[in-house]
Every structure is written in C-alpha cells, then in structure tokens.
Structure 1
Amino acid sequence: MADVHQVTTATFDDEVTKATEPVLVEFWSVGCPACRVVAPTVRAVAERYEGRAKVVRVNVDENPASALEHGVNGLPLLVLFKDGAEVDRVLGTATASKLEAMIDRAL
C-alpha cells in the first residue's frame, strides 16, 4: 500500500520541491469535514501512482508557514508540484479522476 505521509514546513523542500517525481500535496486540517471526505480518494490515488508520483499531506494547523507560503485559502487544497514548481491545484473535494488527470499531465 502506498504511503501518504505527513510533510512539515521543515521537510517541505526536501519532500516536495526537490522531488524528482510529481508530488501531489494535500493541505488539510483535523477540523475540516471535507478533508475527511477526500482523504480516501487521496489514498487511492497514492496507491495507483506508487512509484511514479508521490502523494503527501500537510496539516495546516501544525504548519501555518507552509499554508501561507502556498496560498492556502480553503480546505482541502490539493496542489500538484513538478520539478519544484506548482503546476495545478484544486480546492475542495476532488474526484479520483480529476486528481489522476492532474498527475497524468505531469508525468
């Protein structure tokens, strides 16, 4: 099973911007009902793309600097990075097909 691990402000650069593969970042919060809805979809996408793309989560309550730096203005926010730069984003719950299309364009 693919790992959707937590990234912090301190590890963001190493885990996301310096990654050689595309990285889907889920910005989320414990108190966000929509985040709980989208979490299983994010896990399924992580499993489907294991070995080709990375999927990580950032808890915005614990990492407000990351949220500010990446313009998080609502949750959940899913941002795709490729070669260290943001290439796509979707705010709110997203379907697996939407997330897969984002990743496929980056591969």
Structure 2
Amino acid sequence: MNSIHAQSSLAPVYRKALSTWRPVILYFGSQHCPACEMAGPIFRRIAEAYRHFAHIYMLDIGESPRHPCVTGSPTVLFYKEGKLLKKLKGIGTEATLARDFALHIGKVKPPAVKRKQIHDLTWLRQTLRQLCTVPRAISRLSRGTWR
C-alpha cells in the first residue's frame, strides 16, 4: 500500500498525529470487548517505558474516527515517519508486544543514575591560597613581592 494513498484516506485527526518525526503507536480497543479488557493493562504497562520516545495513543473504536486499517479490536498500529510499519490484530503475548515496541521504537536505556558530585579539594586549596584582597594586592605590588 502506498503511504500517500494511506495518508489521504485517513481522518484529519490521524494525519495530524502522524505528521511527526517520532514513532507513533495507535492502540484501538473497545469498552465492551473482553479481549480489550485483558490487552489494555498489558499495553499500558509496556508503553509506559516508551512514553518519552514515541507518541502513544489509546483510542476507543466507538468514540474515535474510523481508521481504514482497523477491522477488529484490539488492534495496534506502528507508524514511523507517517508510514505504517506493522499492524497487530490483538496484541499477542506480553513478550511479543515488548519485542515489537523494541523493534519499532528502539531499545530504551534505563534512566541514568545521578552520581555524587566529586570536588577537587587540592585545586580549591591552591586557588584560595593565591587569591588575595585588593588592599593586600596593592601592598604586595608596591613592595615588589608579587610572584
């Protein structure tokens, strides 16, 4: 399917969401679907780690505009640069969904641990010894004892 034709057949809401450089993940579910009730928490748990690296939307089929690629629920669509990369009918297992996230978004590094700031005390002592006040500097200049 050509991405130009796919973009033109989408509702304006989806076209606006897909016009970003970040990966976009659309999850379509329904409140009255037993499979969606099981898949929703699993999707949220996995998507939480990727929320800073992609735009992730959970949409209700009954309330959102119709998407041409969605024929059932739950459905997950992975987009990158406005092109549909993968369509999942159902989410499969938690491990396969996590693998799909990692494949299409990239692996997420754990947050960096802040290190305790280390001061260079020898440099600080040496610098403070060389500093002097203005009156002391004037007297040292007049005596010629400036080093």
For Structure 1 versus Structure 2, the TM-score category normalised by the shorter chain is 0.7 to 0.9
> Which AA in structure 1 matches 2:59?
V
- Residues 77-103 of structure 1 show CA distances to partners (whole Å, capped at 9, x for unaligned) of 111111111101211243332222222
> Which AA in structure 1 matches 2:96?
K
Aligned-pair identity (%) = 25
**Corresponding position: 1:27 with 2:28:** yes
From the two aligned structures, give the one with the greater strand fraction: 1
User: Contact (CA 8 Å) 1:35, 1:76: kept in 2 or not?
Assistant: yes
* Structure 2 CA distance for aligned equivalents of residues 25 and 96 of structure 1: 17
| Structure with bigger gyration radius | 2
Residue of structure 2 in register with 1:106 after alignment: 104
Q: Normalized against structure 2, the TM-score is what?
A: 0.57
Residue of structure 2 in register with 1:59 after alignment: 60
Deviation at 1:54, TM superposition (A): 2.4
> Which AA in structure 2 matches 1:51?
H
Residue of structure 1 in register with 2:41 after alignment: 40
> Which AA in structure 2 matches 1:11?
V
From the two aligned structures, give the one with the greater helix fraction: 2
Deviation at 1:64, TM superposition (A): 4.5
Let me know the Cα RMSD of the aligned residues. 1.8
Equivalent in 75, 78, 81 of residue 80 of structure 1: 78
> Which AA in structure 2 matches 1:56?
Y
Deviation at 1:55, TM superposition (A): 1.6
Q: Normalized against structure 1, the TM-score is what?
A: 0.75
Q: Which runs of 5+ in 1 are unaligned?
A: 1-8
- Residues 37-89 of structure 1 show CA distances to partners (whole Å, capped at 9, x for unaligned) of 011111112211121122212211123522xx22x222101111111111012
Equivalenced residue count is: 95
SS, match of residue 21 in structure 1: coil
